Structure 1
Amino acid sequence: MNKICIIGVGLIGGSFALGLKNTRKIEIAGFGRNEAHLQQAQKLGAIDTYSLDIARALSGAELVLIATPVNSFKNILELIKPHINDRIIICDVGSTKGSVIAIAKEVFGAMPPRFIPAHPIAGKEQNGVVAAEGSLFNNKRVILTPTDNADTQAIEYVSECWQALGAKVEIMNDKIHDDLLAMTSHLPHMLAFSLMDYLIQSHSNALDYAAGGFKDFSRIASSDATMWRDICINNPNEIVKHIAGFQQSLDKLSNLIKEGKAKEIKQLFINAKTARDDWLNE
């Protein structure tokens, strides 16, 4: 490929661009609504050119990466639809996949064969292109959720792009993806956000007494609020299901504490520590 267009040159889009530039010679064009942000991305070397006109940004592009919040996807796809031909590959980086596929089918009438949904399981609590880094996806999983009619060459090319950034690419059904990520990514963010909400509602000075453990646990509450709002709106059933499941786990621990069952409490903690230590050592 000679040219890629990135819509939304923030943390993920910018990191994709920087990483790709380290592996091959390719023109990367940026598109967005905020010219100052695009100028900043160009200054940082994430993109070569930019345009506020989608037709100009997409002109000559062979792949378009959508790296905007999921709630913007319908507007984005409607915007690019008149300029998409059968040769252009479309990819995204959204944290929910079922909703992305449903939106694409709504806009295009059917899922375009060369639209390959993707989710890089990587990020930071910081956002924006200033936080972008080309090594962000190194040794991180990227899950592709192509539909049954997906073009095999498009799948291969998207896979190769992510692998060039050091990512471990995996193909998965979108429903399985949304359920797994609701547990491992969406739920922890809900816990961090709700913990902060609980503290500030319960005691105005509580944070004055928070130390390293609280800092570690609450780190992801600094994540982008708009992005996480969109994830909640686009994966509500799975997130609510796992919040309820976690509440049962909290109730179990609460009952053990109330009943003074020291042995059982310790065993629960040992099991949790062992599972986490094993995961870290994989």
Structure 2
Amino acid sequence: MFKRICIIGVGLIGGSIARSARQQGLCNNIVGYGRKQDEKNLQAAKRLGVIDDYTLELAEAVQGTDCVVIATPVASIESIFSQLKPLWSDDAIYTDVGSTKGSVIAAAERVFGRVPDNLVPAHPIAGAEQSGVIASVGDLFVNKRLIITPVGNTQPEAVQKIQGFWEGLGSLVSVMEVQHHDSVLAATSHLPHILAFALVDMLGHKDEQSEIFQYAASGFKDFTRIASSDPTMWQDICTANKDEIIPLIEQLKDELDKIQCLLENDDSQQLFATFTYARNARQRFLDQFNTN
């Protein structure tokens, strides 16, 4: 599908894209790019056969490529765009994997004055708590959702090719408006991560923390698993999408206040109704999407 792919940021996601693209025969050559401080990770990527080669020079990395994948934290994408601007090629397709899309679009507009028509923003809804190329796997995107968020001037051919690429990696591809994507992901991904971080932060500061964690059952481990995620990455994501997240936090505070009031008033009937509605709503989700 592509002759030469440049992956900017060969970590968990970038490395998994490279592994899968190679396994599925979607490209002939893969080059990785990173900063000097990333060189050990890039060396590992080459040693493991994840990429064919790497360079610390962006101009060298993108030379002759027909696809450039930006797989860096969302906070760094504007800087990447600025570095790419003098090197931008009409003969290549550019895409990203950022968890927020409004910030990517805004960064492109600030750097280029508009969104380049060969930039196809995308977001694979897949990941793990580990980071770095060592954590990358070839089947990370199989049966996982991938959202493409083109804008008005995005080339239909570029969208089609990126869609085909991700489908080749095993993803279930949807096309969505930018704002709708950020709203949906704020509710289904960003807020849950904040909840997990907040709960563990609260319990971790309690005097009896050792005893609390000593007696934590599997439910606690399951609920707080995502609090093991990369703090830097999630700081970036939450900051970039705060306009969507803050109203959800307000709604959640109202919901907690309601439950507190039910407990204070010994309203067990309404408390049961609230828990039952939540359980049934989750079961509808499981049934609809055949998940566990």
Output the CA distance in 2 between the equivalents of 1:11 and 1:108: 28
Output the CA distance in 1 between the equivalents of 2:169 and 2:264: 50
For each residue in 1:53-103, what CA deviation from the matched residue of structure 2 results, as whole angstroms up to 9, or x when unmatched?
A: 111111110010000001111111111111111111110000100010000
Does residue 199 of structure 1 match 2:203?
yes
Output the CA distance in 2 between the equivalents of 1:44 and 1:254: 53
Output the CA distance in 1 between the equivalents of 2:136 and 2:125: 15
Q: Which deviates further from its counterpart, 251-260 or 102-111?
A: 251-260
Does residue 57 of structure 1 match 2:57?
no
Map 1:100-111 → 2, pairs under 5 A: 100-111=104-115
1:258 to 258, 264, 287: 264
Cα drift, residue 264 of structure 1: 1.6
For each residue in 1:92-140, what CA deviation from the matched residue of structure 2 results, as whole angstroms up to 9, or x when unmatched?
A: 0001000100001111111100000001111111111111111111111
**Structure 2 match to 1:6:** 7
Gaps of 5+ in 2: none
Output the CA distance in 2 between the equivalents of 1:108 and 1:221: 36
Cα drift, residue 209 of structure 1: 2.3
**Structure 1 match to 2:274:** 268
Following TM superposition, the consecutive aligned residue runs of length 4 or more in structure 1 with deviations greater than 6 angstroms are: none
Map 1:204-215 → 2, pairs under 5 A: 204-205=209-210, 206-215=212-221
Cα drift, residue 277 of structure 1: 2.3
Q: Name the amino acid aligned to 1:151.
A: Q
Q: Name the amino acid aligned to 1:53.
A: E
Map 1:137-216 → 2, pairs under 5 A: 137-203=141-207, 204-205=209-210, 206-216=212-222
Q: Name the amino acid aligned to 2:137.
A: E
**Structure 2 match to 1:73:** 77
Q: Which deviates further from its counterpart, 8-17 or 74-83?
A: 74-83
Output the CA distance in 2 between the equivalents of 1:147 and 1:264: 45
Cα drift, residue 208 of structure 1: 2.2
**Structure 2 match to 1:32:** 34
Output the CA distance in 1 between the equivalents of 2:144 and 2:254: 31
Specify the SS of the correspondent of 1:17. Answer: helix
Specify the SS of the correspondent of 1:26. Answer: strand
**Structure 2 match to 1:122:** 126
Output the CA distance in 1 between the equivalents of 2:158 and 2:200: 42
Gaps of 5+ in 1: none
For each residue in 1:143-179, what CA deviation from the matched residue of structure 2 results, as whole angstroms up to 9, or x when unmatched?
A: 1111100001100010001000111111111111111
For each residue in 1:189-236, what CA deviation from the matched residue of structure 2 results, as whole angstroms up to 9, or x when unmatched?
A: 000000011011223322222121111110000001111010122111
RMSD across aligned positions (CA): 1.1
Output the CA distance in 2 between the equivalents of 1:257 and 1:59: 64
**Structure 2 match to 1:248:** 254
Percentage of matched positions with identical amino acids = 48
Output the CA distance in 1 between the equivalents of 2:146 and 2:152: 19
Cα drift, residue 271 of structure 1: 1.7
TM-score by length of 2: 0.94
Across the two proteins, how many residue pairs are aligned to each other? 282
Specify the SS of the correspondent of 1:28. Answer: strand
2:88 to 84, 91, 94: 84
Q: Name the amino acid aligned to 2:33.
A: F
Output the CA distance in 1 between the equivalents of 2:50 and 2:253: 43
Output the CA distance in 2 between the equivalents of 1:272 and 1:132: 35
Q: Name the amino acid aligned to 1:14.
A: G
Output the CA distance in 1 between the equivalents of 2:254 and 2:28: 51
Specify the SS of the correspondent of 1:214. Answer: helix
Output the CA distance in 2 between the equivalents of 1:32 and 1:12: 14
Does residue 23 of structure 1 match 2:12?
no
Does residue 46 of structure 1 match 2:50?
yes
